[in-house]
Chains A and B, each alone.
With several copies, the nearest count.
Chain A
Amino acid sequence: MKIVLNGKETCCREETELLAFVLACGFNPERVVVQHNGRILTREEWAGVTVRENDRIDVLQFVGGG
């Protein structure tokens, strides 16, 4: 199954809950924000969203900036 993660095509074993996906990717849920198909999700919403074929997922975090 293909998804687009951070703008790059990425392979994914199967459909999965977003929260599980985030954890599986090794992200720390406390420090990232996630956009699913262009919609910004609160952390509470992650459990209720399923990652499906062709979904666009963006995971962002704060970095040093001016």
Chain B
Amino acid sequence: MMDDLVIGGQPISNRLFLGTGKFSSYDLIPGVISNSGAQVVTVALRRVDPGMASENMLNFIPENCIVMPNTSGARTAAEAVQIARLARAMGCGNWIKIEVISDNKYLLPDNEETILATRTLAAEGFIVLPYMNPDLTAARKMLDCGAAAVMPLGSPIGTNRGLKTRELVQIMIDELAAPVIVDAGLGKPSDAAEAMEMGAAAVLVNTAIATAEDPVKMAEAFSLAVRAGRMAHLAGPGAQSALASASSPLTGFLF
């Protein structure tokens, strides 16, 4: 398609990336994916004990989706690298969302370790999308190390607080040639639309959908908003002005 986002050589027409955590039941996920049309879906990797009768996450994700495992649980680059390798051994492709977090309260990422992990994993052939604290210089380093895109946070993970970092994210979008994907914190479709209007390449949403009263409907709402924001970005918004300007003609008045 004309306006596809291409990452790792794969064209992606739906710019809403979907996280699969926190849903009250995996059974919701197929509906969420189909209603949103998401093509990129994140998962986490966890130890499973014998006898734990957990369902296979992958059964709930359509074949044609790109599965992007994250490295949640990693506190260092080395841990992230190991988790990424394990994830790849699952045989679902070579995309990886790097998450290196040492702060348990706000789950803010460690950019320095994330740069290191990006270097290693990109060199090993992964399609690397690092979750990061918004920081132009750090983003440049990640891209220099081979990241396919950078994913700055809008606000802390799971807070639904929206795009609180817009000042720094806008600069990243304006200065970087690579895709900037806003990940974490977007709470409402209007937040996602705003990110896209600013020129974000995509957004990754999880909590806002998973914690909605009706996650399937909310997924569709986010999907529409992402399309709206992208379309507005392409349509070239009119300028803001301080003073009013009549929308009806200023001539031919009866009075």
Footprint of B on A, CB under 8 Å? 5-7, 25-28, 31-33, 35, 40-43, 58-66
Contact = CB atoms under 8 A, between A and B. Distances in A.
B212 to A, nearest CB: 14
Contacts of B87: 33, 62
Given A43-B91, A65-B72, A66-B19, 7 more contacts: A26-B51, A32-B48, A35-B254, A42-B89, A65-B43, A65-B70, A66-B247
A2 B221 CA distance: 52
B157 A60 contact: no
Chain B CB within 10 Å, residue with most, of A5, A31, A43? A31
B242 to A, nearest CB: 19
Q: Is the interface of A mostly helix, strand, loop or mixed?
A: strand
Given A33-B89, A40-B89, A58-B254, A64 B48 contact: no
B137 interface: no
Interface of B: 19-23, 26, 29, 42-51, 54, 56-58, 67, 69-70, 72, 82, 85-87, 89-92, 157-158, 184, 204, 206-207, 246-249, 252, 254
A57 B26 CA distance: 27
A63 B158 CA distance: 17
A26 B50 contact: yes
Contact of A63 (B43, B89, B92): B43
22 contacts: A6-B47, A6-B49, A25-B50, A25-B51, A33-B86, A33-B90, A35-B254, A40-B82, A40-B86, A59-B48, A61-B46, A61-B54, A62-B87, A63-B46, A63-B248, A64-B29, A64-B248, A65-B45, A65-B248, A65-B249, A66-B20, A66-B44
